[in-house]
Amino acid sequence: MKESVAIMDIGSSSIVTLVGENGVNNTFNILGRGEVSYAGFQNAEFLEPENLKFAIASSISYAELQAESKITEIYLGVPGEFCSCVTKTINLTFPKHKKISRFDVENIYKIGRNFEETDVSVINNSVVYFELDESKRVIDPIGLKAKKIAGNISYILAMNSYLKMMKQIFSELKITILGFISSVLAECLYLFEPSVRDKYVLLVDSGYITTNVALARGNALLSLNSFSMGGGYITSDLSQCLKITFNEAERLKHKVVLAWDAKPTDTYEIEGDEYLLTYSAKATNEIVTDRVEMICEYIQKCLDLCVYDLPDFLPLYITGGGLSFIKGVSHIISKKLKRQVKIVTPQSLNQLKPYDSSEEGLLNLALGYGDDLNEILVKVK
């Protein structure tokens, strides 16, 4: 377990740097946090790449100031839009029964990393399960005896364009990148106990501009798909349809209660610069509902791309800052996708919200998730 580490979460609307250390009862203490808003990314491209270095440097500076320490090394999150996920089954057979060693496990991971694509690189590998002698399934086979072992392994591949850009920026800032971590993988490992993940977890992280849809099992992702649409699109719809400023639309969005069967005379009130502003609750709810249902349609397309069976009883967990704060949104999503929906937040003593899931997941993993961080990380050339 590490004393303290620094991580950076590259979100679709802000960049967050955290400096943290392990606390008591499997919690952690945040020593410093720096958050900087920026233009974000869309369709796996940064909207203002010329300003990216400044935003990253500013986020780091704020965290350093609060932590009262210099950041020289960092773990860097990779957003879902810049990642893909591939699972493979790797088999090893021995002349006779033997104790499985760490070398055997590392060899299984290594054999599967033979990807021919030139525009992506493997950044993480993790286990769905190991099967011993075609009968017993385990997460950790080290020390167990078997003549044959099969590893069902998940590989996270990141776009080389993202990796190259970040390496250049952090080299100029004279900060060493200790490893690239899939933000979605970190979330799944952090938000759900192993007993829950063993039964499959279907997670949707909807942010400001981007939404990730992932299926996880064991210590790994089985499927990962993303699309560029999130809570910021709701704000834009309200601004355009009601002919109000973007800031007013953002404040109005946080007032919305979709479970409210509003009458034509009902209104929402928000504070303007000089006086209260009122807007039709019925019209506002209809605008928000239309966009939420459109996001649901894209979520369904991602689910349809998943090669694994997704039974109707498998709940859909929602996290991130794009949708989860909207009162009544779970009912709309559940009705549209015909699936039980649950809002999931980090389970810790830090009073966290769904929009903290990504950054806290990265910090949790960097601090030594099950002491398996080195097994998950893959060195990127």
| pLDDT tens by residue, 168-198 | 999 999 999 999 999 999 999 999 999 999 8
Q: Which of 51-65, 75-89, 264-278 is predicted least confidently?
A: 264-278
Section 197-214 average pLDDT = 95
pLDDT at residue 33 is higher than 80: yes
Judge contact between 169 and 52, C-beta under 8 A. yes
DSSP state for residue 348 in the 8-state scheme: S
**Separation between Cα atoms, residue 152 and residue 20, nearest integer Å:** 32
Note the residue count of the chain.
Answer: 381
Torsion angles phi and psi, residue 135, rounded to 5: -140, -50
Residue 76 CB coordination number (10 Å): 26
Lowest mean pLDDT among 14-28, 56-70, 154-168, 226-240: 14-28
Residue 233, both tokens: 């699109």
**Residue 370 pLDDT > 90:** no
**How many CB atoms sit inside 10 A of residue 173's CB?**
15
pLDDT on residue 353: 61
Q: Which residues of 61-71 are buried (b: 16+ CB within 10 A; e: fewer)?
A: ebbbebbeeeb
Strand partners, 363: none
Label residue 369 by pLDDT band (50, 70, 90).
low
- Rg value, the chain, Cα: 22
User: Which residues pair with residue 243 across a beta bridge?
Assistant: none
CA dist., res. 144 & res. 150, Å (int): 13
Which two tokens mark 133?
């002698």
pLDDT of 214 over the 90 cut: yes
pLDDT band at 24 (very low <50, low <70, confident <90, very high): confident
Q: How far is CA 135 from the centre of its chain?
A: 33
- Looking at the predicted structure, is the pLDDT value of residue 1 above 80? no
Structural domains in the chain plus CATH codes: 4-81+161-191+349-370 (3.30.420.40), 82-159 (3.30.1490.110), 193-343 (3.30.420.40)
Query: What mean pLDDT comes out for the span 299-304?
Result: 97
Report whether pLDDT(302) > 60: yes
**Residue-level pLDDT at 82:** 98
The rounded distance, in Å, linking the Cα atoms of 253 and 119 is 39
Please give the Cα distance from 257 to 237 (Å, whole number).
Answer: 16
pLDDT exceeds 70 at position 2: no
- Across the chain, where does the E strand assignment appear? 4-10, 14-22, 28-37, 41-42, 45-46, 73-78, 83-99, 120-132, 136-138, 145-159, 176-182, 201-206, 211-217, 220-227, 267-271, 276-280, 316-319, 341-343
Q: Helix, strand or coil for residue 377? A: strand
Q: Hey, what are 199's tokens?
A: 């039964």
